[in-house]
């Protein structure tokens, strides 16, 4: 089982990668660094919070674990 700190670090690293990718996509789609970055940042913050919640819920579920 992951600790809370490990879950948060994994989420931050994953979302940093996602932020970079979404920034590129946002820029390509809008032609604006600012608008693309704003879209990417909003998406990343929502994704980060959702991922942390998702991981913490699953860490409490024993189903499918081999002990």
Domain ranges of the chain: 4-59
- Output the DSSP codes for 20-51: HHHHHHHHHHHS-HHHHHHHHHHHHHHHHHHH
The pLDDT of residue 32 is: 96
Work out the average pLDDT over 5-21: 87
Q: What are 15-65's pLDDT values in tens digits?
A: 889 889 999 999 999 999 999 999 999 988 898 899 889 988 988 998 888
pTM of whole model > 0.85?
A: no
């Amino acid at each position: 089982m992951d600790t809370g700190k490990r879950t948060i670090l994994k989420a931050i690293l994953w979302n940093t990668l996602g932020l970079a990718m979404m920034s590129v996509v946002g820029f390509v789609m809008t032609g604006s660094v600012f608008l693309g970055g704003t879209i990417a940042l909003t998406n990343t913050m929502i994704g980060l919070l959702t991922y942390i919640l998702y991981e913490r819920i699953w860490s409490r579920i024993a189903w499918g674990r081999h002990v």
